[in-house]
Amino acid sequence: MNDNPHNRILADLAAAHFVGRDDELSRIIERARSKTASGIDLLATPGAGTTELLRQAFDRLFGEQGDVIPIYFAVRTSDKGPLEAARRFAHDILKQTVAFRRSDPSIIEASPGMRELAELAAPEDAYWVDRLVEAYYADSDAADEPSYIRMLLSTPLRALAQGVRMFLMVDDLHLTQFMADGANFLGEISDIYEGSATTYAFAGARRMMFGRGKGAVMRIDDFQNGAASQMVAATAERYGVEINDETCDLIAEQLNGNPRYTARLFASAAECGEDFLSFKAVESLYCDEIFGGRIGRGIDAGLEAAVPESSMCNTARLLAETLASDGRKTTLTNWRRRLGVAGPEFRAAINRLNALEYISLRSGYIYAEPENMPLSDHIRGVARLDAGESRAQVVGEALAEFVKRAPAVMARAYRRNAAFGLRSLLAQFDCQDIPAELIDYAIFDERVKGLSDKDSDTAVAESSEMFKLPHIVYTANTAAFYPHISELIDDERSVIALGFEETNYREDTVWIAAEIESKLEAARDHTEFWLDRLEMAALSCNFLKYKIWLIAPEGFSPEAREVLSERNAFGSSRRQAEMLSDRLGDKASSADTGQGDEFELVIPMGDNTEMIAAHAVEEIAKRAGFSAKAVRQIKTAVVEACINATEHSLSPDRRIYQRITADSDKLAITIANRGLRLADKVAPEIVPDQGRRGWGLKLMKGLMDEVRIEQSDDGTRVTLVKYRTA
C-alpha cells in the first residue's frame, strides 16, 4: 500500500504506521478473494483496532480493483433502530459500489443521495441499483417494516444474483445492544448472511460476539510484549512525539498494548507539544488524560452509552466499590438493588458494561477489571471526586502514585517475560514416563548438577529411575481459583492443573505449581512459606487430592528437601524445568518434524497378519543399520503389540495403524488401534489367550529401550523405541 494520505480511503493510518496486524490483514484479504462462500467472525478486545484493520482491508481491495467489491459498514450508537441502520446500510453499499466501479474514492467522501448515486452507477449494475433505489424510497408501514428492513439488508445478495460479487465487512456489531430493537437487527443480518452464497466479515466486542456466529473465528486482542512496543513507537512517529526505549515500554505496559488508549495519549501529547523522555513526563500527561482528557472522556462516553443517565453516579460508585472489594467482585443482586434500574433495562445495562469490558459478568457475580489500568485509575479518581474530595488533592495524589507505580509496572513486565511458562509445560503432561532427575531436585543434585549440557543429557538418558506424569486436561493461573495469591506472586508464576493419574480417568488429581524466587538454593523457611500458601489455595478450592510442585532458580537446600519430602511435594530447579520442557516438547513435535525416513502401514486384524507388520519393520530396521539381534527384538515387540491390539481392543474397524520413523539414532514404531483403550482394562483382564501369544507389555519393555502407552480418546497407541548402539 502507498503511504500517501491521498491514497487512503477509509483507513486512518498510513501503511508504515499500521503495524502488528499483517497476518490478520492477509487472512481477511484472502477471505475476500475466495470464490467460495464463507464468513469470518472477528472477536475483538474493545479498542484493539478492529475498525482500522477492516478499513485497511477495504482500502487494499479498493486499490486492487479486482473482481470483488469491498463494502464496509459500521453500526453506530446514534442509530435509532433497525430501520435507520438498514437504510444507512443500503446507502453505504450503493455509495461504495459506485465509487469502486468508477475508481473514484471522492464519491465516498461526498456521500451523494441515492438517486444521484443511481445516475452515477455503471450500466451493468442498473438492474439491481434501480430496484434498490425504488425500494429505498418506497413507503413502509409498521406492519411491513421487518420485510422492508430485510430487503435492504439483503442488497449484496441481490447484487450477487446479477453477477456482482461483494465482500461485506460489518463492524461494531456489539453496538446493536445500544440500539432500540438492536437484537432484531443483529438477528436479521446474521440470518441473511450466515450460510449464504457470499463472503463476509462480522466484527464486534468479543464477549458479545462469542458463540454467536457460524464463520471462522479470528481473535483481535491487545498487543503484547514486543508487538505492543512496536505499536507505541509507530504511534509516536505518527504524532511526532519523541520517546525513548524506556518510555515506549512503559506506555505499552501501562496502556495494556491497547491502540485506542495509545492513540488518545499521543494525540494529547502532540496537541500540548509534549515529548515522553522520562517516566515522570509520561505519568504527568497520563494523569491529565485520566482526569478529563481524551482517555477519561472516552471511558465516560462508554459509560453514558451503557447505562441510563439517571444511573451514572450509582454505576460509577458500584464500579469503584467492586474494584476495592475483597476478590474484586460483588454480587449481581447487589448491583440490581443499587443501580437504580430494574427488569430488562437492568439486564441490558449489565450486558453493555460486560461487552465494553468495564466489568466481567460470571455466575451471579460482577468482577472488576483491574488489569485495565486506565479504566481502574479513572474509576478510582472519579469515585473520590464524586465523594466530595478536593480535586487538587485527588489529582496530586494520583500523579504521585502513578510516578511511584511506573517502575513497578516495568518490574512486573520483566518478571512476566522472564517467567518460565508453567501453564504451557503442565499442559503437555500426558502420562509420560520421565527420568526422575527431571523433577526431583535431590536426585538431580546428586547425579546431574554441575555437569555440562552434553553430560547432563547423557546422565538423564541413562537414568534407571522413572517418574510418571499425570494426564492434565485443564490449566489456569492459581489466581483464577484463589485470588489472594496475587498479593504474593505474579499470576503467570503459579498454576493449578487438573487431570488424572492415569489415562483411564479413574483417579483424578490436581497439581499446584509455583515458580518462586531465591538467589541461592531455597531455604527451609522459604519453602515452608510457599507450601503453606499453596496448601491454603488447595483447601480453599476443596481439592482433596493434590500435589504441590515448587520450582526455584537454584533448587532447594538439603533442609528444604526434607520438608518437601515430609509434605509429599516436589521441588525442582529452573534448569530441571527447562530440561523437562525440552524433553516433552521434543516428544510432542517428533511426529511432525518430518526428520528421518517415515513409513505408514495399515493391516487388518487376525489371521496372523501381525507377521506382515513384523516383516515390514524388519526390512526397515535392516536398512537403518540395526544389528541382527536388535532386528529380532524389534520384530518380536511389534508382533506382541499387534497381538494385544487384536485380542483386547474390540476394535470396530479391525485395523492396526503402524507408523515407523527411522532417524540417525533410533527407530520409533507407533502402533495404534481403535476400540477399548488398554488403560481402561484392569490388569487381570490382560492375559495370554494361548501359548506364547500376547505376553504383552512386560515382554515389550524387555525388548525395547522405551515403551510408551500414549493417551488416545478412542483405542490405544503404543510407541516402541529402539536406540542405535554405538
More confident site: 380 or 644: 380
- Worst-scoring range by mean pLDDT, 230-244, 386-400, 658-672? 658-672
Whether 539 has a pLDDT exceeding 50, the answer reads: yes
How many other C-beta atoms lie within 10 A of the C-beta of residue 209?
A: 20
Q: How far apart are the first and last CA of the chain?
A: 58
pLDDT in tens, 465-487: 889 999 999 999 999 899 889 88
Q: How confident is the model at residue 685 (pLDDT cuts 50, 70, 90)?
A: very low
Can you give the three-state secondary structure of 259-309, one letter per residue?
A: HHHHHHHHHHHHHHCCCECCHHHHHHHHHHHHCCCHHHHHHHHHHHHHCCH
The pLDDT assigned to 707 comes to: 85
Report percent pLDDT > 90 for the chain. Answer: 61
Stretch 315-325: mean pLDDT: 92
Largest CA distance in the chain: 92
Q: 45-68, pLDDT tens digit by residue?
A: 999 999 999 999 999 999 999 999
Confidence (pLDDT) at 692:
43
**What confidence tier does 461 reach under pLDDT thresholds 50, 70, 90?**
confident
Cell of 445: 543434585
The Cα 344–Cα 177 span in angstroms is 12
Q: Are 386 and 269 in contact (CB under 8 A)?
A: no
Report whether pLDDT(714) > 90: no
* pLDDT in the model for residue 715: 79
pLDDT-derived band of residue 385, with 50, 70 and 90 as boundaries? very high
Residue 4 has what pLDDT?
A: 54
The set of residues, in sequence order, having a beta carbon less than 8 Å from that of 671 and lying 6+ positions away, is: 613, 638, 641, 642, 645, 656, 657, 658, 717, 718, 719, 720
Angle, helices 294-306/279-290, rounded to nearest 10 degrees: 30
Sign for the CA dihedral angle at 326, 327, 328, 329 comes to negative
Cell of 581: 520442557
The number of beta carbons lying within 10 Å of the beta carbon of residue 615 is 12
Q: Which domains are delineated in the chain?
A: 5-220 (3.40.50.300), 295-387 (1.10.10), 422-587 (no CATH), 590-723 (3.30.565.10)
Tell me: the pLDDT tens digits for 583-636? 887 544 343 444 567 888 898 988 788 888 889 989 888 888 888 888 999 999
Q: Which residue has the higher pLDDT, 436 or 664?
A: 436
Q: Which strand (E) or helix (H) includes residue 552?
A: strand 546-552
Between 718 and 681, the higher pLDDT residue: 718
Q: Tell me whether residue 364 is exposed, middle or buried, using C-beta atoms within 10 angstroms of its C-beta: 0 to 12, 13 to 18, 19 or more.
A: exposed
| Cell numbers placing 448 | 546431574
Q: What is the mean pLDDT of the chain?
A: 89
What does the pLDDT read at residue 666?
85
Tell me which of 26-30, 400-404, 499-503, 511-515 is least confident: 499-503
pLDDT tens digit sequence for 287-313:
999 999 999 999 999 999 999 988 888
Confidence (pLDDT) at 246 = 93
The three grid cell numbers given for residue 637, joined into one nine-digit string: 515387540
Residue 245 burial class via C-beta count within 10 angstroms: exposed 0-12, middle 13-18, buried 19 and up: exposed
Query: What is the share, in percent, of the chain residues with pLDDT greater than 70?
Result: 94
pTM of the model: 0.78
